[in-house]
Structure 1
Amino acid sequence: MDIRRLQAFVKIIDIGSISRAADILNIAQPALSQQLASLETAFKQKLLIRSKMGVTPTAAGLELYRHSQTIIKQLDRAMTEISNGAGPLVGKVSVGLSPYSSGSTLSLALLKEVREKLPGITLHLTESFDDIYSEMVMTGRLDMAVIHGAGPIKGVHFTPLMKEDFFLVAPENSSFTESLSSPVRLSDLTEVPLLLPPDYNFVRKRINMAFARKQITPNIVAEVEALLTLQDAVAAGVGCTILPWSVASKIIVPGKSRVYELCSPVIQEDVSLCVPESIPETEAGLAVREILIDLAKNMVASQNWPGTKIMDS
């Protein structure tokens, strides 16, 4: 089995097109198609479904994609570690940080710590609404990720970091209660225009569940992924949003927006560190993981975030 065939197969899946993958790999399309045919012959399985929109993997193709990611990553790591010998830790470590969670607030601190303590490591940080981090960790595209939820999901392991309560962020002229210290009931938000993340985001899923339990249909007027846009929209009086304190406190504009505690019910979610079960961690990955866990727990303790509790691992 030629490792280059597996690398080409992974590129085809990532791009979703044989012709575009051939251009990127600088390989003639017929030659790339022949490599794919050779793989299908070797495994005695159809690996891709072709259509006018491109290609999608079959169940067997997805399984080969997962194993190929592991093999390629392990080979890259072996090359790096063997070449480096007994020197300082080197290599690339990729970390996903879930948007709209306390995980996203760790990015700068993590970058600084790794640069100071592990200068030989190249840190790849990503914050994306479109990617499913647990799948990326499972297939080896990410070494680890800080995400909402605590599993279980086959193929990945979760280490609980913290539990976050969600808060209402509203324009300054809003008046849901007589006192800012009084919680806002979810039933008070029936007619309130809400600006929330997309449906597939874990924050949104937890919010939807809370409204469903109270048999309330939320008045969602927009789905917003850009935090700066969300900050400006709430400050301009377009609507309100619901976020964990770690994020809510960062988008407040003094004199234009404020934070209210929510109750009946309290909306909360676990934040966990997700790592693969079947892909061995490198020394570099383990070192970054230890720094990330320490940062998360120290940040909660030092920032004294309301409604955020450190969880035992």
Structure 2
Amino acid sequence: MNLRRLKYFVKIVDIGSLTQAAEVLYIAQPALSQQLATLEGEVRQQLLVRTKRGVTPTEAGKVLYRHAQIILRQCDQALADMQAAGRGLSGQVSVGLAPGTAASALALPLLRTVRARHPGVLLYLNENYGITLSELIMNGRMDLAVLYGDKAIHGLSFLPLLKEPLFLVGPASMPIPAEPVRLSDLRDMELFLPRPYNIVRKLVNEAFMGLGPGLAPRVVAEIESAFTLTAVIADGLGATILPASMAREVVAACGAWQCRIVEPVIEAPLALCQSDHLPLSEPAQAVKDILLELVADLAGSVGVTTVAPDLHAPS
């Protein structure tokens, strides 16, 4: 397959219109259509379906689109690595940091350290939900992400970093329970928690199920936004369950209280996520090494449990 045709195909799918893609690519539409027809002939598959609204990929087209993104990204990285040979590291590196986790505390130290050690590296930081970040890595659109999770997923690998204990967080207007608080004592407490697909909610649900069949937290509203959740606590509407890092932020922001949950202790696993089949570029590998150093320092400063064998060791 011709790389230029792959670039054309990806652009057409991204835009969803042959006419608009031709304008962006500075190529006549008949010539672009011919390039697409040639590509379809090479792969012996129909790749796009033309509709009144534009074009959409067929199932075969969706498969080629995913692979084309990876192929083009690797070619770009190969050129960048060759150009960087013999001089300081340079190039783009994208890192995802899941909000509401200990990863949030890594943003500034990571920026400072990368700028000091590798000024030629352009760092892109993306704070987003773990599901979104893992999909970006799976599709080859992001290099690394620090997020909650430790279960193997096809296309991704997870390096365990540390475990954050979960805390009950409540407003100053609510009586503070004896610390630590047993999970069984929270069965009748009204809680504001994230949606069931969120890793923290999953851990809480699993812990309640371990107390007895049919047991579940009493959730009165589901909130994903850290800002809104802090406002809820500040307004005295109720309590929530949060990892240690976010619990400290909420307590500091609105004068709330926090109590560690025991019997059982619930811990959220923070991991470094990357593709299990796409090799990291040299700049991305350097940023990964820095991330591991910073996580080791973070674990020592906040007192969370480190689970990686040696975060300072080269990976």
- Relative to the length of structure 1, the TM-score reads 0.84
* Partner in structure 1 of residue 66 of structure 2: 66
Q: Which runs of 5+ in 1 are unaligned?
A: none
Q: Which whole-Å CA distance do the structure 1 matches of 2:259 and 2:54 have between them? A: 47
Aligned in 2, Cα 1:24/1:201: closer, same or farther, shift over 3 Å? farther
1:204 is matched with which residue?
Answer: 201
Q: Residues 302 and 20 of structure 1: is their aligned pair in 2 closer, same or farther, counting only changes over 3 Å? A: farther
Measured after TM superposition, the shift of residue 242 of structure 1 is 1.6
- TM-aligned CA distance change 1:185 to 1:126, over 3 Å: same
Amino acid of the structure 2 residue aligned with 1:244: P
Equivalence for 1:91: 91
**Aligned residue runs from structure 1 range 1-313, under 5 A:** 1-14=1-14, 17-18=16-17, 22=21, 35-48=35-48, 59-129=59-129, 131-175=131-175, 177=177, 179=178, 181-194=179-192, 196-214=193-211, 215-253=214-252, 256-305=255-304, 308-312=305-309
* 2:183 and 2:208 in contact (8 A); partners too: no
Alignment check: 8 A CA contact 2:168 2:258 kept:
yes
Moved more, 206-215 or 86-95: 206-215
State the secondary structure of the residue aligned to 1:287: helix
Mapped partners of 2:281, 2:158: distance in 1: 18
Structure 1 residue 12, shift from structure 2 partner: 4.7
- SS of the residue 1:250 aligns to: helix
1:297, distance to aligned residue in structure 2 (A): 1.3
Structure 2 unaligned residues grouped into runs of 5+: 311-315
Q: 1:38-94 deviations in whole A, cap 9, x for unaligned?
A: 433322234456778987655533432332122211222223233334111000001
* TM-superposed deviation, 1:160: 1.2
User: Deviation of residue 143 (structure 1)?
Assistant: 0.8
Taking structure 2 as the reference length, what is the TM-score of the superposition?
0.84
Query: What letter is aligned with 1:102?
Result: A
In 1, distance between residues paired with 2:49 and 2:207?
39
Distance, in Å, in 1 between the alignment partners of 2:205 and 2:55 is 34
Cα offset for 1:20?
9.2
Cα distance in 2 between the residues matched to 1:138 and 1:166 = 28
- C-alpha distance in structure 2 between counterparts of 1:142 and 1:41, whole Å: 31
Instruction: Please provide the CA RMSD for this pair.
Output: 3.0
Matched residues, percent identical?
A: 41
Q: Which moves more between the two structures, 232-241 or 202-211?
A: 202-211
